[in-house]
Amino acid sequence: GNSVTQMEGPVTLSEEAFLTINCTYTATGYPSLFWYVQYPGEGLQLLLKATKADDKGSNKGFEATYRKETTSFHLEKGSVQVSDSAVYFCALQDSGAGSYQLTFGKGTKLSVIP
Amino acid sequence: SAVISQKPSRDICQRGTSLTIQCQVDSQVTMMFWYRQQPGQSLTLIATANQGSEATYESGFVIDKFPISRPNLTFSTLTVSNMSPEDSSIYLCSVLLAAGTNTGELFFGEGSRLTVL
């Protein structure tokens, strides 16, 4: 079956530090990959996505590249801000089965301190 | 994108009671899902809500405990029946937009936070 493994949190960084949150996946087909973000007290929002190998998703300074050879989709940001404090979820969607449902990682809580 | 409204946003419930959560979307959608997020955990798919027919449940979830309705394309309800403290979670509605506006991503409501005493 499909699965997503994220690095364990919580992660605490100082403002302007470099961020990497690792994500690897297992899938039977060729999934689409997503990063969702959940700010304190809010619902999930799509941060970025990639639908095929070597695609790079980017948004709000965050980037992630779909690496088929390493089955990875690591999230990076060059300079984090306090406002980036949130829980980040990596997810895959195996739409080849026609279901479109998402399989999520366990989430990584990021805290950015001034 | 889509605006997804969930009601209630939060509730405190007594053991043994049932609560129905509503999900209303402002645009046509093809698929609707219900997820559960237990405290400090990731999201787990409960079921796919099918219009006009029985929902499709994931392993570990049954209709008697989580009855779901979807009478039309833009509305669904999830009932959490005979609640126990283990049902304390955030329940999220998620949608896939209709063809033509569908970019493959799922949109989520803000969730309904249930606490069972």
Is residue B16's pLDDT more than 90?
Answer: yes
Average pLDDT over residues B7-27: 96
How far is residue B18's CA from residue A35's CA, in Å, rounded to a whole number?
Answer: 33
Structure tokens at B78: 């999830």
Nearest residue in chain A measured CA to CA from B36: A104
Inter-chain residue contact A46 with B105, CB threshold 8 Å: yes
Tallying the residues shown for chain A, one arrives at 114
How far is residue A90's CA from residue A73's CA, in Å, rounded to a whole number?
Answer: 8
Residues 6 or more apart in contact with residue A56 via CB below 8 angstroms: A50, A63, A64, A65, A66
Least confidently predicted of A20-24, A36-40, A96-100, B100-104: B100-104
Instruction: For chain B, give the mean pLDDT.
Output: 92
Tell me what pLDDT residue A50 has.
Answer: 94
Inter-chain residue contact A101 with B105, CB threshold 8 Å: no
Is residue A16's pLDDT more than 70?
Answer: yes
List the one residue out of A85, A5, A73 whose CA is nearest residue A38. Answer: A85
What percent of chain B is predicted at pLDDT more than 70?
96
Upstream peptide bond of A10 is cis (omega within 30 degrees of 0): yes
List the one residue out of B25, B45, B57 whose CA is nearest residue A2. Answer: B45
List the one residue out of B12, B6, B17, B16 whose CA is nearest residue B88. Answer: B12
Tell me what pLDDT residue B97 has.
Answer: 82
pLDDT tens across B64-82, in order?
999 999 999 999 999 999 9
Is residue B101's pLDDT more than 60?
Answer: no
Is B73 within 8 Å of chain A by CB?
no
Tell me what pLDDT residue A40 has.
Answer: 86
Inter-chain residue contact A45 with B108, CB threshold 8 Å: yes
How far is residue A23's CA from residue B92's CA, in Å, rounded to a whole number?
Answer: 23
Among B43, B58, B92, the strongest candidate for a mutation testing the A interface, having the largest count of A CBs within 10 A, is B43
